Structure formats: C-alpha cells, structure tokens
Structure 1
Amino acid sequence: MAWTMRNSKFRHVFGKPLKRDQCYDNIRISRSSWEAPYCAVNPKYVAVITDSAGGGSFLVLPLSKVGKVERDGPLVCGHKAAVLDIAWCPHNDDIIASASEDCTVKVWQIPEGGLTENLTESIVDLYAHQKRVGSVVWHPSAMNILVSGGSDNKLFVWNVGTGEPLIEIGLPDLPLCISFNYNGSKLAATCKDKKLRVINPRTGEFLQETSCHPGAKPARCVYLKNGIILTTGFSKMSERQYAIWDEKNLEEPIQIDGIDKSNGVMFPFYDPDTEMVYLIGKGDTIIRYYEIVKGDNGPELFYLALYQAADPQRGMGFMPKRGLNVNQCEIARIYKLHNSGLCEVIPFTVPRRSDLFQEDLYPDTAADVPAISAEEWWVDRKDADPVLISLKGGYAPSKKEAFKVVRKSNVLDKMPSRASVGATPASANNEAAAATPALPPLPQKTLDFLKDGFDPEKLVKDLKSLQDIVKKQDKRIQQLENRLAKVEQHTDEEDVHGDENC
C-alpha cells in the first residue's frame, strides 16, 4: 500500500515512553483469551484486569502510585469468575463498570485516594444476561446509561441509577465490539457473524447492517463524528485491514485499506477533538496513528506515522483528553501492557517551541459532567452532545457529591450541577428537577375519600360490626359442619347393617 504524504500539524507527532520507574511494574495481567484491551485509564486512576484463581479481579492504582506493585496489594475482586472488560464512567472518575464470565455487570466506586484493602462490595449489580458478559460501554453524554453485550447474543441498555435494564436488544450472533456515536443516539456493533450493524439503542431497531470484514478473527468498531464508522478486521487472506463507513449507507465502504499480514486483533482508539485514530494490534510492537480528513469521496483516513518498540503489547489503555499535560503539547497517552507484567506509559507529543497554550492542538473537549439525565434520554427521547470545556490553564475536575448508599439500586441517581462548566443557576435547577423521579398519582377512590373526609368513631363502629358478623358466620359454619358429620355417621351405620343382612 502506498502512503500519501500531506501537510498536517500532526505529521511529526512522536511517542516517547517514560522510564521504568515512572511506569507500573509487577502486575499479574489477565491470561484470558477474550479479545479485550484489559486496561482502562482516566485522569485519576489506571485499572488493569488481573489473573486470579477462584474468581475475577482487577487492579486500580492512582496515577501517581508508580513503581513496583505489591504482589498481595488490594484488588477489586467481587466477581465469581474472570473479568473480561472494564470501563470508567466518563462523568465520574471514581466510578468503573466491569463485565465478567459470571454473567453479571458490576459498578464500583473507588474510594478517594485509591484502594487500601480489597474491594468486594459493588454499589450496583446488574443482572439480566444468561451467559458471560464481554463488553461494557458508557453513554458519552447521558448520566448513568450503560450498554453491555454478552454471549447470550444480547445487548442490554441499563439505567445504572436504578439498577434496571431499559431495553433488551437481541442480535443474530455474539457481539464482539459496541460503540456509541458522538451524542449517544445510535450504537454500532460488530458481531461474530462478520456483520456491522447500526442500532437505535432506545428501540433496538436495526437501522443499517452490512458484511464488514470477511476474516474469521474478531472485527472491532468505533463511531467517529458526523455519522462515520471505522472498523478493523481481517480479509479472507488473513490480511489486517481497516474500513470507513457511512452510517446512512453501509452497502459499500467509503474507504478500505490493508495494513499487514500479522494475526493480532487491531484495536482502534479515536480522539474526536483532533480527529486522530490510533490503531494498536495485540501482540504487535507497533502503534500506528492516522488523521481523518475530507477527501474527494468523503472522509478518508490518512496515515501519519508510527511508534515502534522492541516488546509486544498484551493490552492497552487510552487516556481521555482531560488527563493530558497540555503544557508539553501532549495530544495522547497510551498505557501499554507487557507480557512481563509492566504497564508502560507512552506520551505522544507535537514538537512546538513555544511554551504557551496551543489552541489549535486543544479544541474544547468533553467535560466530566453529563449533558442530560437518564430520564431525559430515555423518557423524553432527548439527545445532546457532550458538555465541552477548555483545557487552557489545565483541567480542574468538577465537584462531585459524596455517594450515600441508601439503596443499592439507587445510589447514582443524583444529577450533578453543571455550574462549574458554565451552566446558569436556572439551568442547573432545571436539571436537578428533571433528575428527580416523579411519584405515581394516587387512585381516584383514594382522592375522593380524602376529599370527603371521614368520622373516626363511625369507622370504629363499622369495624366492630364486621367483627360481630364474622363471629356469627364462624358459629353458623361450625353448626353446619357438626350436622354434616352426624349425617355421614348415620349413613355409614346403615351401610354396615345392610352388609350384615346380606
């Protein structure tokens, strides 16, 4: 394949790994054969799925806690079987969801400062899948909306605040990868039947579907901006390839190109701010990065450069833009898992001479505050793009109210304020009112009873009268039962005398 060179401010992006003492070492990384990244990061923590006997667990470390990890250090270990996928909530950096072979999805709250002992109690348990759950994805802009995909060929859309599934979506085959579009109004899913589907997450309707990559190994997908979907997979000749699709017409890809003949599954990571895509293959030593640009036939993926190392990657995590160092022109940070147990940190930077904030590199990015509540998304059918903030001056996390675990099914149902990202007090009050669940209306008979009023003395007399009637009825029933017994006894005696006469 011939690469087309073009001018781009990201053409000279380079990755330089941090020294070993600034990384995380001695991690027992999962040995599962499930095709997943095994790692998830946010501006506070790095989480890695670990290998454990007799259950499932994953490690959560504060970003500052670098160096060698204690062998018997604290873990999140409430699952009864291996953990297959983890995902940090985009609206609360202390909340993480995990999917497991024990057919459950659990949502955990990491205590401030990280774990000091094993965490075994989740704040929400989500039960619906009949087989192992392999994927979990959070809604990008609606609070508490989560999608899980399992080996029972089903997707479930959850309201984590109530712990209930909103809708069950049946698929013809095992879902391999799921991805929300930019405002969360659509889902893209690749399945084991080698098809890509665009789904309405509220109704379960299949809007479009097509055969994407004919190879036998799993295909992955990621929703880009403006209704474009990127997929990675394998050709019939086992060549790795990527393709770009228009969500409105999946009959033919806008672009499809081969990469190489390696056999590792290719995981795509997308930065919607810079329109850059990073392709990371399992078992590879190479990280490729591309840029989405406008071509003659629509959006196209243009190759920029690659990062090459000596050791292959077993898993990978991609840092959200909020967690990057803008003072050093860092535009991406990838956490690479090694087979040796090392989690290596690789910042990707754009070389600039000026120390000033580079506005062209850092357009406004998604904040840690939801744009709408779960009720607005599900009941009102409202869609909204993520709330955006500027990274000029650095990122400051918004204030989060402490969770008060009163009911396990309702600990995340409080909509946080958006005042910290520019929302007016009126809009914040409106959102709080929208997030408060309405009480069901009282029956009409009850309303009439309360309206007319009642006499307590008369109520007591009526109850006493009913008790007297019940006593009389009991006495009458007893008398009838006695008479029936005598009749039955008399009938038996006549039968006996008749037999003797015979």
Structure 2
Amino acid sequence: MSFRKVVRQSKFRHVFGQPVKNDQCYDDIRVSRVTWDSTFCAVNPKFVAVIVEASGGGAFMVLPLPKTGRIDKSYPTVCGHTGPVLDIDWCPHNDHIVASGSEDCTVMVWQIPENGLTLPLTEPVVVLEGHSKRVGIITWHPTARNVLLSAGCDNVIIVWNVGTTEELYRLDDLHPDLIYNVCWNRDGSLFCSACKDKSVRIIDPRRGQVVAENLEEPMALQELDSSNGALLPFYDPDTNVVYVCGKGDSSIRYFEITAEAPYIHFLNTFTSKEPQRGMGWMTKRGLDVNKCEIARFYKLHERKCEPIIMTVPRKSDLFQDDLYPDTAGPEAAMEAEDWVAGKTAAPILISLREAYVPTKQRDFKVSRRSLLQESRPAVAPSSGLSATHPSAMSQSAATPAISISAATGEGGQIIEEVLREVASLRALVAAQGERIVRLEEQLSRLENGDV
C-alpha cells in the first residue's frame, strides 16, 4: 500500500520576495562599519533611518521614504553623539520621534521635522544618562507612551520615562554577561532577553523578576545554513510568520508558526547576490495593501539601502481581509504612569482597509471624445468617399455636422470592439491564472517527492 504525502495548506506557501528597481533604492549611503549586531536600520511609514560612518562621533541618516536615488554626500545627518551609534528605533506612537544608543554610554531621543532634515540635527530633545558602558540596544514599549528600554554592555537594562527623563526600573542583577537582544511581548507586560551565557530569559520589569529561564527542550529545532554572523529575526504577529536574516548572509528565510506540532513550518528563502550588513523592517501601517504586500525589508549593502517586498499572489480585486487583520495603530493604549501603576493594555488596533484603493478607479476607461477625433478621417458611410479624396476633404470642411454624426456611429462600433477585446483579455488572464495554480500544485508535489 502506498501513501501519498499530504502537502500542508497555507496561504503563505507561495510568498515571494522581490527587490525594487534600482531607482527606488537609496544609493551612495556610507553604512556604518562598526562591529555590532543590531539591525543598523529602522523604518516607519514616513522615514528610513540608517546608521552611517561619521568622523569624530556617531551619526545616522534619516531620509523621507520617497527620497530614493543617489543621496548627496552633504545630506544632513543626526549627529549629536560623541561615539558611534549602535542602535536606533522609531517610536511606535509618533512617526517623527526616534531614539538612539551609542558607544558614548548615552541614549538620545530626537524629533525629526515633518519633511525630513535640511540641516544637521545636533540637539536631541532628551538625553538619558545611566549606563556606565556603551548602549547597544534600544526598544520602545509597544503600548505605553514615552516608555523606552535600553540595554548596555554593563549588563544593565534600564526602563525610562522619556517624558520626565527618569529611570522607571533598573535591572542590574539579572544578566551575568553581555545582553545580545531584548524584545517586548505584544502588550508590554514582559520582555524576552538573549544573553551571552546562552540563556533566554522572560522578565517582568515591573517586578524586577525573571519569570522563566533556561526553558525546557525547544518546541522545534531548525538548522540554518548561515554564515557566522548574527541572525536578525522579525516576527509578524498578524500573520504568524517569522523572517530570519543573517548579518553577512545574502538570504531571508521565512517560517510560519502554528499552534499544532511541529509548530514551525519552513515556507521559502529569498536569496540575492549581495550579503546584508543590516536590515530594516517596515511596520504594517507602511505596506501597500493593493499589492498584497505582507512585509517589506530594507536591506543594507556597503553603500546602498535596497527595499525588498514580500507579497502573496492573489487574483482577486477585493481587499484581502485574511492577509490584513486589524493591526497595531499609532495611538498609545496608555500613559507611562498607567503602566508603572500596574496597568496592562493590548495595542489599539486599526483596520488597513482604508489604505486600499478599489481597482475600479484603475479600470480601463473609454474616452468617447478621443474615439471621435480618431474616427474623423474614416470613411463617411453616407457619401462612400475615401477620406483621402479631395472632394471628401472639402465636404468634411463644408459640413462638419454631417461628418461628426457619421463618425459617432462608427465610434460606437469601436467602443463595442474595445469592450469585447477587454472581456476576451480578462478571460485569458483568468485561464492563465488557473493554469498557474495547477502548475504550482504539480511543482509542490515534485518538491515533496510525490510524483
């Protein structure tokens, strides 16, 4: 008895990545050469920020998203740190506020003008001093306004109230070694940290306690053929897809997380020729829902930032509700004082349906006026004369009303022909779409050894 291998059904099995065209990249950017394992890039719906090389201090560049192409060497930067910038993060509740951590042991918060920088920005709105060694990790609280977490090479984590510049919590005895990464959970009640001592800790910052450490056996183990560089994971809670990018690697691998074993399902790998030196990740609010875009990365090369778009192929002209459930919006769910008082709140969700432009606005439209103009030199049915004949030309000039009337009937015929052709093309596209689906199913069976 033979058993057929069942192919797991998922709408994300055919997600594919595609880099944008060269003129949509950000060129001639001197990406930082500092040996640090942060992303070096932060993105929101208005700006892309990249840590860059700077003489005599630390700097990062902030560009409005539409400002693609070659960036002039004299373009202004955010340059208030006295040491190299190691990490940057946009505030989730204000698209003009960005925080930075530096080798100069400080955390700075900056306000970017509406249309970007026209002059170098040297004065932060807030300076936070509390670390004794360089600050390599910066991350905003997901739901509480003005709450910012920083981690330094002093193995200390500090949670700040940016509005008052005060330390809310100092966690200085929970990590015996260098902290590699920190990430909040969705409502900001806990955060997870990875440490050089090979421990993963889940921490409640308000109680100053480790909730869990050195977890039991992993739910699933996935080996990645990667270089020795750090892995940069990005998790999308709306789609339960994890993207893993390796620093120094040239690929983005993505997996779907499910509630049933084996929990982690490999989807695909996007590979390009050049290795990445860092990676930015666009929040859901900045994606193009009309193109079924579910993720967008900003890959850093040595001197370039290249957007990479992840899309789910769809033939429907409707808004794709299953791809875009309500997502975290820009409004804070509570104030810093509420969170300190013990309140926990989930993100305030928004619908992305309003960002969808119905395709009817882009449908083929027949301009009757242009058809009439194009049909004027055609044969006039009432006279039977060629439009190139001199007598026909004189008749047209003498009796324009007759010519237009005759052409109107012919214009109607042209409209009908055009509409018939459009209908034929739509039928052809639909047939090709069905053929593509069949071919994809055959390819899937071949890939899984089900011949």
Whether 1:56 aligns to 2:19 is: no
Per-residue CA deviation, residues 230-269 of structure 1 (Å, 9 max, x unaligned), is xxxxxxxxxxxxxxxxxxxx12221222112521211100
Report the structure number with the largest CA radius of gyration. 1
Is residue 310 of structure 2 the alignment partner of residue 342 of structure 1?
no
Matching of residue 367 in structure 1 with residue 369 in structure 2: no
**1:323 alignment partner AA:** G
Q: Distance in 2 between matches of 1:155 and 1:260?
A: 32
Task: Specify the alignment match of 2:149 in structure 1.
Answer: 147
Structure 1 residue 4 displacement after superposition: 9.2
* 208, 213, 233: which one aligns with 1:204: 208
Classify the secondary structure of the residue corresponding to 1:289: strand
Cα separation, 2, equivalents of 1:40 and 1:207: 29
Counterpart Cα distance in 2 of 1:5 and 1:17: 28
Show structure 1 runs of 4+ deviating over 6 A.
none
Identity fraction in percent: 56
SS at structure 2 position matched to 1:257: coil
Q: Does 1:313 align with 2:313?
A: no
What is the SS of the residue equivalent to 2:355?
coil
| Aligned-partner residue type, residue 347 of structure 2 | P
Cα shift at 1:176: 0.9
Name 1:302's counterpart in structure 2.
265
The answer (yes or no) to whether the contact 2:144–2:332 under 8 Å persists in 1 is: yes
Instruction: Report if aligned partners of 2:137, 2:152 keep a CA contact under 8 Å in 1.
Output: yes
Contact 1:322 1:395 in 2 (8 A): no
Partner residue of 1:260 out of 217, 222, 225: 225
1:356 matched to which residue of 2? Answer: 318
Offset of 1:189 from its aligned partner?
A: 0.5
Residue 11 and residue 291 in structure 1: after superposition, are their counterparts in 2 closer, same or farther (change >3 A)? same
- Structure 1: any 5+ residue segments left out of the alignment? 211-249, 397-502
Tell me if the contact between 2:289 and 2:356 (Cα under 8 Å) persists in the aligned partners: no
Between the aligned partners of 2:154 and 2:204, the Cα distance in structure 1 is 19
- Residue 32 of structure 1: which of 19, 31, 34 is its match? 34
Q: Find the aligned partners of 1:51 and 1:322 in 2 and give their Cα distance.
A: 30
Give the whole-Å Cα distance in 1 for the aligned partners of 2:119 and 2:261: 57
Name the CA distance, whole Å, in 2 between partners of 1:376 and 1:316: 33
2:346 maps to which residue?
385
Partner of 2:72: 70
Q: Which residue, 295, 302, 307 being the options, matches 1:332?
A: 295
Deviation at 1:355, TM superposition (A): 2.1
Where do 1:273-292 residues align within 5 Å? 273-292=238-257
Gaps of 5+ in 2: 358-451
CA, structure 1 residues 303+5, in 2 after alignment: closer, same or farther (shift >3 Å)?
A: farther
Inter-CA distance 4–68: structure 2 relative to 1 (3 Å threshold): farther
How far is the alpha carbon of 1:5 from its aligned partner? 4.8
The TM-score, its normalising length taken from structure 1, stands at 0.69
Letter matched to residue 209 of structure 1:
E
Aligned pairs, number: 351
Pair 1:40–1:395, CA change in 2 (3 A): farther
Query: Match of 1:320, as an amino acid?
Result: T
Aligned to 1:427: none
Q: CA deviation at 1:286?
A: 1.1
Residue aligned with 1:351, SS: coil
Q: Deviations over 1:266-325 (max 9, x none)?
A: 11001110111100011111111111112247xx11111111111111110000000000
Which of 271, 280, 285 does residue 322 from structure 1 map onto? 285
Q: 1:87 Cα deviation (Å)? A: 0.3
> Could you say which residue in structure 1 is the equivalent of 2:189?
185
**Residue 113, structure 1, aligned to residue 109, structure 2:** no
SS in 2 for 1:377: helix
Partner of residue 87 from structure 1, selected from 78, 86, 89: 89
1: distance between equivalents of 2:207 and 2:59? 34
TM-score (norm 2): 0.76
Check 1:52–1:352 CA distance in 2 against 1; reply closer, same or farther (3 A cut): same
